[in-house]
Amino acid sequence: MKTVFNEVEQESKSFTVSGTPQINVANFEGSVKVSAWDKPEVAVTAVKKAIDKQALGSIRLSAAQRGGGVTVETKFTQPLRVIRLGGTHMHTRGAYVELEISVPRNSNLRVTSGNGPLSVTGVGGELNLRTEHGPIDVRDGRGRLTAFTNNGLVSIVNFEGEADASEMGRDGLVLEGRFARLKAMTGGGSISLALPADVNANIEANTRNVINDGLNATEEPTSTREVRRLKLGKGGPLFNLRANSGTLTLRPIGGARASAGVK
C-alpha cells in the first residue's frame, strides 16, 4: 500500500539576475529539476505534497535574492510522525516538495536533496549536485561538475569539461562527453563510458572487468592485477575510474549504449 498525498499546494517566485548567478538549492525531500533558458531570470515553482493539512502546513519555502545569487530552501518544521500503513507503523514526515527551476544557461549551481532525484539540463558553470538517495541526471552541460548519491543511477550525457561522479550503491554510472578530467566511482555497480572516437587520454581502473567496444586503446603494464591502465589514442589526461566489483564498458560516442549493471 502506498502513502497517499492528498494535500497539494503550489507556489512560484521569480528573480531578475545578471552575469553568471550563483544559485543554491536545498530541498529537505523531493525532486529538483533545473533547466536552462535564454532569459536573465531565475524562476522557481514549488509543488508541495503532503498526507494531510497538518503536514502541508509544516512545509516552509524560502526563496530570496542575495547579491548576485538566488537561494531556494525548503524545510519541514515538525518532527517525524508515526503513521499506520497497511499493517505496519512507520516514521515519516508525510510530506515532500517538487522543485522546478529555470536558470540562465551560464549559472553556477549548488543543489542538495535529502531524498529525491536531481536533474540538470543545458546549464554551464560550476555544478555541485548531491542527493542522499535518488538518481542524478545531467544533460547538455559544460564546465565543472560534482555529482554524488548514496544510491541511484548517475547519468551524465553530452557533457564538456571536468566531472567527478560518485554513486555509492549498485546502480552505477552512465557517462558520455568530452571530458577534460574525469573521476568516477560506484560502490558495486558498473560504469559505461562513451568518449569521442579520437580521444587522447589515459584510464586507470580498479576492475579487471573492462570491455572495450570500439575505442583505440592500448593496455599498459601495472604492478598489480587489481588495477588496469589503458592509453586511449596518444594518451592525455588521467581518467580515474573505480568500478570495484562492477564492469567498465568503453565505447565511442554514437556507438551502441551499454547499460550500467550489464556485464
pLDDT digits (tens, 9 = 90+) for 87-118: 665 556 789 999 999 999 999 999 999 999 99
Tell me the three state secondary structure of residue 53: helix
**Given this model, what pLDDT does residue 1 score?**
40
CB 189 within 8 A of CB 168: no
Secondary structure (DSSP) of 106-128: B-EEEEEESSS-EEEES-EEEEE
Distance CA(125)–CA(66), nearest Å, equals: 19
Residues of the chain with pLDDT under 70: 1-3, 79-92, 255-263
Per the listing, cell 529555470 goes with 102
**Given this model, what pLDDT does residue 221 score?**
83
Domain containing residue 250 = 135-263
Does a structural domain hold residue 142? yes
All cell numbers assigned to 9: 499546494
Give me the count of residues in the chain. 263
Q: How many CA within 13 A on the CB side of residue 85?
A: 14
If we measure between CA atoms, which residue out of 81, 98, 102, 99 comes closest to residue 90? 81
Does a structural domain hold residue 155? yes
Does a structural domain hold residue 170? yes
**Given this model, what pLDDT does residue 259 score?**
41
Per the listing, cell 497538518 goes with 54
Does a structural domain hold residue 94? no
Q: Per residue in 69-96, is it b (16+ CB within 10 Å) or e — as a string?
A: bbebebebeeeebeeeeeeeeeebbbbb
Does a structural domain hold residue 151? yes
**Given this model, what pLDDT does residue 124 score?**
98
Secondary structure (DSSP) of 173-201: EEEEEEEEEEEEEESSS-EEEEE-TT--E
**Segment holding 137, helix H or strand E:** strand 136-139
Does a structural domain hold residue 108? no
Q: What is the DSSP letter of 254?
A: T
Phi/psi at 62 (5° precision) = -120, 125
If we measure between CA atoms, which residue out of 46, 62, 48, 38 comes closest to residue 101? 46
- To the question of pTM greater than 0.85 for the whole model, the response is yes
Distance CA(232)–CA(34), nearest Å, equals: 34
Does a structural domain hold residue 187? yes
**Given this model, what pLDDT does residue 93 score?**
74
Enumerate residues 6+ apart whose C-beta is below 8 A from 223: none
**Given this model, what pLDDT does residue 260 score?**
41
> Residues 137-164: pLDDT tens digits?
999 999 999 999 999 999 999 999 999 9
**Given this model, what pLDDT does residue 142 score?**
98
Number of domains in the chain: 1
Does a structural domain hold residue 63? no
